[in-house]
Amino acid sequence: MTTIHEIPGKVTVEWDSSVRAIIEHWANLSLIPLAEFRTAVLDKGLQHAAANQGNAYIVDHSAAKGAFIRDIQEFIETQVNPAFAKAGIKYFLSVPSKDSPLANMAAKRYQGRLDRSGIQHVDVSSVVEAVAWLRTNAC
C-alpha cells in the first residue's frame, strides 16, 4: 500500500493497487472540518482512484471516535456519493468503529444512500477482510 495523503490524528488515505482501492483510516471524525474532508476524500483519494482506474473505496472506522459534523454528512450524500459513481467506484466497503456507537450510527446514515448512486455497499470486520472480499468479488 502507498500513502497518498495524511492529516495526522484525523485520517490516512492509502492506495492498494492489488485491488484498485482507496483505503481511508479515520481516527477522530468530529475533529475534521469540511475543507479537510473534501481534500482527503475528493481531491486526494478519489482523484488518485480515478487516475489509476480504481473501482473501490474502503473506509476504516475501526479506530474512529465521534461523528462527522452535519455539513460533512450532507456533503457525502449530495456530492461525494455521486462523484464516486461518476469516477467509476463500484464498491464501498466499510469497517465499523470498535468503540464508538456514535461513529457507526452516523456512518450508517450516508452508507444507506449509496445505492442511489449505483454503488454496492459491503460491511466488513477489517481492512484485511475488505481486501479479500474485493479479490474474490471485484477483480
What is the CB neighbour count within 10 angstroms for residue 131?
20
Instruction: Count how many domains the chain has.
Output: 1
Band the pLDDT of 106: cuts 50, 70, 90: low
- Has residue 104 got a pLDDT over 60? no
Band the pLDDT of 134: cuts 50, 70, 90: very high
Distance CA 26, CA 32 (A): 10
What is the CB neighbour count within 10 angstroms for residue 34?
13
Summarised one tens digit per residue, pLDDT across range 22-75 is 999 999 888 999 999 999 999 999 999 999 999 999 999 999 888 888 899 889
Quick check: helix, strand or coil at residue 111? helix
Q: Label residues 38-76 b or e (16+ Cβ within 10 Å = b).
A: bbbbbebbbbbbbeeebbbbbbbbbebbbbbbeebbebb
- Residue whose C-alpha cell is 485491488: 19
- The mean pLDDT of 79-95, rounded to a whole number, is 92
- Has residue 95 got a pLDDT over 60? yes
CATH number of the domain enclosing 96: 3.30.750.24
DSSP code per residue over 40-53: IIIIIIIHHHHHTT
- Has residue 115 got a pLDDT over 90? no
Q: Which domain holds residue 11?
A: 2-137
Average pLDDT for the chain: 89
Q: What is the pLDDT of residue 17?
A: 96
Summarised one tens digit per residue, pLDDT across range 4-22 is 999 999 999 999 999 999 9
Alpha helices by DSSP H, the chain: 34-38, 47-51, 70-75, 81-87, 101-111, 127-137
Summarised one tens digit per residue, pLDDT across range 67-80 is 888 899 889 888 99
